[in-house]
Structure 1
Amino acid sequence: MPKSFVPLESNPEIFSSLSHRLGLGESLAFHDVFSIDDPDLLAFVPRPVSALILVFPVSETYEEYRKTDDATRPTDYYTSVAGTPAQDSLWYRQTIRNACGFYAILHALANGVHDLQSDSYIESLIKRTEHATVDDRTHILENDTELDKLYASLASKGSTQAPDASDEVNLHFVCFTRARGSGHFVELDGRRTGPIDLGELDKNSDMLSDKVLDHVRSFMQRETKDPSFSILALAPSFD
């Protein structure tokens, strides 16, 4: 039976607490993004933003888009470079059920963040996996009891009652950040066939730049039946 996690609530306090426990430095934290079109609301988000996590409904429209878009790439286009010098982004295939929130955090910390605590769990995980194959990374995460304990300590917290790990959840989490190597703007989703390179991003731009927000808008424009979107930004902490 596949390994399952209790789904994370889309809550900046929970995402920040789990990230700090994994090894993110206290200088960064997650924040709600209440609008991507209202300049006054965007001004509440501290800058620069290192990563965005988009939470959206898994609909038939999205699934059709995902499968069609993935079909444009060779199935081994990332696995053939994973762990080699040609690897640009550190990407993990999602095999743990209901763990897309964790994978979004992992992709953000492993790619777009430089403030990681020395000798932390996340620093150790990156060292263990950055030169590994995708299959080996999968095996490491599926069998990591330390991760299970770190995750379980926070997964059930939140303002609403947490679902069971075996429940069907129709919301998905995707990370947008910079690639470790080129600094390109990338979409990182463990359900895809690898990282999606969305091109160059000006060195002075962050994850609330127009190019990034236009890509986020494309997700919203595809979905006409269920507007259940939310966004978390990884940015300087208020503390």
Structure 2
Amino acid sequence: MTSAGFSDGRPVWIPLESNPEAFNKYINGLEVGKVECVEIYGFEDDLLAFVPGPHLALIFCFPYSETSYSSVAKVYSDLIAEGKDKVPEGVFFMKQKIHNACGTFSLLHSLTNNLESIDMGKGSFADCHTSMAQAHKKCAESGETATPPETQVEFHFIAYLHYGGRLLEFDSAQNFPRDCGPTTPSNLLSDASKQCKNLMQNLGDIACNALAIVQKKA
């Protein structure tokens, strides 16, 4: 992915904005229930305490550049060399084949790996493909800023989830989720925030933002 444009023939979607309104429109468009997206105002413990729970996932958005791509790719290539490139049993992971769809895939991974906590609605994933594309386009075009050109890639989304006592990083540009160490549902945001802060530091304290996927209060 580069901001210069795409020439590989793969579908191109309009990038999503990283705000709760856009993601909640997407969730509602898919008719997924018992879940919503809220903003995370900072990674310090006192700010994380304002995020309503239960917490299902943290979605992290950071500027996309050759530097950030190379930094993340190095981490994953090292895991491949160590033989730690397998998708854990029971985990749903899908590699992104659509340009500018990383926001959608971060949400998809957040939802499909929390089926016991949400209502995914009716129909199979294949049946939902068209509605996913329509929901993506609708919420991408309803953002707070001007809709960017479809070939313009400025940000990348990744998701952090608790699964089986582990903190997993879901980056749809890669081939497998990264195991970031132990965690618990109650420590998910705190442990995921540490990963986000490390990435920010490695990339030069870049500006970024984060969202939480949480169970909706009845």
TM-score by length of 1: 0.77
Q: Contact conserved, 2:58 with 2:192, CA < 8 A, in 1? A: no
User: Structure 1 88/69 Cα, relative in aligned 2: closer, same or farther at 3 Å?
Assistant: farther
Per-residue Cα deviation, 1:194-215 (whole angstroms, up to 9, x for no partner): 110122223x524223x22211
The residue type equivalent to 1:7 in the other structure is P
- Matching residue's letter, 1:232: L
Q: How does 1:34-183 map to 2 (within 5 A)?
A: 34-37=41-44, 39=46, 41-74=47-80, 87-113=89-115, 114-120=117-123, 124-125=124-125, 144-165=129-150, 167-179=151-163, 182-183=164-165
Q: Which amino acid aligns with 1:173?
A: F
Instruction: Considering fraction of residues, name the structure with more strand.
Output: 2
Shift of 1:55: 0.4
Q: Deviations along 1:164-214, whole A, 9 cap, x unmatched? A: 32x2212100000123xx242100011112110122223x524223x2221
Cα distance change on mapping 1:119 and 1:206 into 2, 3 Å: farther
Shift of the alpha carbon at 1:38? 5.6
Whether the 8 Å contact between 2:32 and 2:121 is mirrored in structure 1 is no
Output the CA distance in 1 between the equivalents of 2:189 and 2:149.
33
CA distance in 1, matches of 2:175, 2:55: 26
CA contact (8 A) 2:59 2:160 kept: yes
How far does the alpha carbon of each residue in 1:28-60 deviate from its partner, in whole angstroms, 9 at most, with x for none? 211111111161x33321022110000001233
Which of 5, 10, 14 is matched with 2:18 structurally?
A: 10
Task: Give, in angstroms, the shift of residue 216 of structure 1.
Answer: 1.5
Cα distance change on mapping 1:214 and 1:77 into 2, 3 Å = closer
Taking structure 1 as reference, are residues 22 and 201 closer, same or farther at Cα in structure 2, changes over 3 Å only?
same
**Alpha carbons 1:28, 1:237 under 8 Å: kept:** yes
Distance 1:104 1:197, change over 3 A: same
Unpaired stretches in structure 1, ≥5 consecutive residues: 129-139
Partner residue of 1:30?
37
Aligned length: 208
Instruction: Spell out structure 1 runs of 4+ moving beyond 4 A.
Output: 75-78
Give the CA RMSD over aligned residues. 2.6
Percent identical residues = 28
1:79-123 Cα distance to aligned partner (Å, 9 max, x none):
xx66xxx63421111110011110111010011352124315xxx
Partner SS state of residue 80, structure 2: coil
Q: TM-score, normalised by structure 2?
A: 0.83
Equivalence for 1:188: 170
C-alpha contact (below 8 Å) 2:61/2:157 kept by paired residues: yes
Deviations 1:118-172 (A, max 9, x none): 315xxx21xx6xxxxxxxxxxx99xx4343223223221111111132x221210
CA shift for structure 1 position 238: 6.3
SS in 2 for 1:234: strand
Give CA-to-partner distance per residue, 1:207-237, whole Å, 9 cap, x none: 223x22211111111121x622000011244
Contact kept, 8 Å, 2:91 with 2:113, in 1: the verdict is yes
- Cα distance in 1 for partners of 2:149, 2:214 equals 30
